[in-house]
Amino acid sequence: MPKKRRSGGKTGSKKGRSELVSCSSCGKLVRREKAKKRTVYSSFVDYQIARELRAQGTRIPRVPTVKYYCVNCAVHRGIVHIRAKEERKKRE
């Protein structure tokens, strides 16, 4: 059977077993290095009020929300795109 990826779909090497994270969409358990990480910053202040406060020089804190997605959910939501066969072979 041919090997599709040199890395086997993992980013790390020689570090043993990595921890599992739960997909934010479907709940599937995925290895942390294989999961797609998406960080979204949100504010508790309404955006129209925040714009006026920023104009006056106020600093408005933002809260990071980290979500992990499995590959299937990441493709379905458009976070990751499927590349053509020639593009997949290119090493970056």
pLDDT in tens, 46-72: 999 999 999 999 999 999 999 999 999
Tokens of 65: 């929300």
Low-confidence residues of the chain: pLDDT under 50: none
The pLDDT, as a whole number, for residue 12 is 65
pLDDT of res. 4: 80
Task: Find the farthest-apart pair of alpha carbons in the chain and give their distance in angstroms, rounded.
Answer: 64
Half-sphere exposure of 36 (CA within 13 A, CB side): 14
pTM of the model: 0.71
pLDDT at res. 92: 61
Q: CA 26 to CA 69: how far, in whole Å? A: 8
Q: What is the DSSP string of the chain?
A: ---S-TTTT-S--SS-PPPEEE-TTT--EEETTTSEEEEEEE-SS-HHHHHHHHHTT-----EEEEEEE-HHHHHHHTSS-PPPHHHHH---
What domains can be seen in the chain, in order of their start residue? Answer: 21-89 (3.30.1740.20)
